[in-house]
């Protein structure tokens, strides 16, 4: 990512937040610890990096923004500035070795100046003990230091950290803007609404349509859904033969689970509202959605939705993906019989 692209991305996605933080830095009013909370695609990392660049920029612009061109800005973007420490999960968690590295860095003074900044992405993936280790820095910062903790779900953050940081909620991307961007990216109309429910990031959305992964997944989830609606026990078989092979990694497993939520949400919405196909995440199974919406009670559909929503926490609890899907399918078949 170039300096110009990163700065323009931060400004495009979160112009008010960028201007707010640039103003705080200009006035020397930046706090020592923030929690940036926002869905993927809302610009958490871009804003955090922009703040770091502004703190070290050698040629700040007239409006108080980093130039993006000086050696300091370029070093930060390249990830080789000694006073800008960034940590991202190694796999599914932020590992013990990374926490030790962080703790060691927290105790050091700035190398090249009097400022040091820490950016910890997906801080919700810290273990409880690791998260508690951060508290010492947050409560007793060493020198002129700033910590930016980034997460997509502040509900997963320890209350002790929440109470000791300034929480900044990142507003989501406007649906119209996202739809326009997806159209420009070549996403077909039948997939745009589904993608908008899965991510607010155009980049992440376009990654899902590579090699028609999303189209294949949308079709297979639709077939599983139709079988569930018809109380067809072959839905259970489809878990192993069709759904599990879609998810080759943990990230894709989470996406598949979110897709199950979306398909049942269509049915719940159809129970009270007349919707055109372009208003559905799964227009190809609109008939099955309409039929199950008429056949089941609202309580039954809410129960199914609750079961689907609970699968994410099960995955985070390291329950086997296939086991989650099979248990969910059996529970849904109980509701549709």
Structure tokens at 70: 């000086």
pLDDT tens profile 201-251: 777 788 888 889 999 999 999 999 999 999 999 999 999 999 999 998 888
High-pLDDT (> 70) share of the chain, %:
95
- Class of the domain covering 175-336: mainly alpha
With the C-alpha atoms ordered 206, 95, 92, 147, is the resulting torsion angle positive or negative?
Answer: negative
Average pLDDT over residues 248-270: 93
Query: Which CATH code fits 3-169?
Result: 3.40.50.300
Say how far apart CA 200 and CA 66 lie, in whole Å: 26
**Mean per-residue pLDDT, 106-135:** 79
CA distances 183 to 33, 215, 253, 327, Å, are 38, 15, 26, 37
Domain ranges of the chain: 3-169, 175-336
Task: Look at the chain and count its residues.
Answer: 337
User: 118 has which bridge partners?
Assistant: 85, 147
At residue 175 the predicted structure's pLDDT band, cuts being 50, 70 and 90, is low
How many Å apart are CA 170 and CA 82, to the nearest integer?
28
């Amino acid at each position: 990512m170039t300096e110009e692209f990163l700065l323009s991305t931060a400004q495009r996605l979160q112009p008010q937040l960028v201007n707010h933080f640039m103003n705080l830095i200009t006035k020397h009013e930046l706090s020592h610890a923030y929690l940036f909370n926002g869905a993927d695609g809302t610009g958490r990392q871009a804003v955090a990096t922009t703040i770091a660049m502004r703190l070290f920029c050698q040629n700040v612009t007239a409006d108080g923004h980093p130039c993006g061109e000086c050696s300091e800005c370029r070093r930060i973007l390249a990830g080789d500035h000694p006073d800008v420490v960034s940590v991202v999960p190694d796999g599914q968690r932020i590992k013990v070795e990374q926490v030790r590295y962080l703790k060691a860095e927290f105790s050091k003074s700035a190398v090249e100046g009097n400022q040091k900044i820490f950016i910890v992405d997906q801080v919700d993936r810290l273990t409880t003990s690791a998260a508690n280790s951060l508290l010492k820095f947050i409560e007793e910062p060493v020198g002129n230091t700033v910590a930016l903790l980034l997460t997509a779900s502040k509900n997963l953050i320890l209350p002790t950290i929440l109470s000791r940081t300034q929480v900044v909620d990142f507003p989501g991307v406007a649906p119209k803007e996202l739809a326009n961007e997806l159209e420009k990216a070549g996403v077909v109309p039948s997939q745009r609404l589904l993608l908008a429910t899965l991510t607010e990031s155009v980049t992440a959305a376009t990654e899902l349509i590579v090699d028609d992964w999303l189209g294949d997944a949308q079709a297979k989830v639709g077939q599983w859904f139709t079988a569930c609606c018809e109380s067809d026990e072959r839905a259970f078989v489809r878990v192993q033969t069709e759904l599990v092979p879609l998810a080759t990694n943990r990230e894709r497993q989470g996406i598949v689970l979110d897709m199950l939520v979306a398909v049942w949400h269509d049915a719940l919405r159809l129970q009270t509202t007349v919707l055109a196909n372009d208003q559905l995440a799964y227009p190809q199974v609109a008939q099955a959605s309409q039929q199950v919406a008429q056949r089941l009670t609202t309580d039954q559909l809410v129960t199914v939705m609750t079961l689907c929503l609970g699968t994410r926490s099960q995955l985070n609890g390291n329950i086997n993906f296939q086991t989650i899907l099979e248990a969910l399918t059996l529970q849904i078949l109980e509701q549709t019989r």
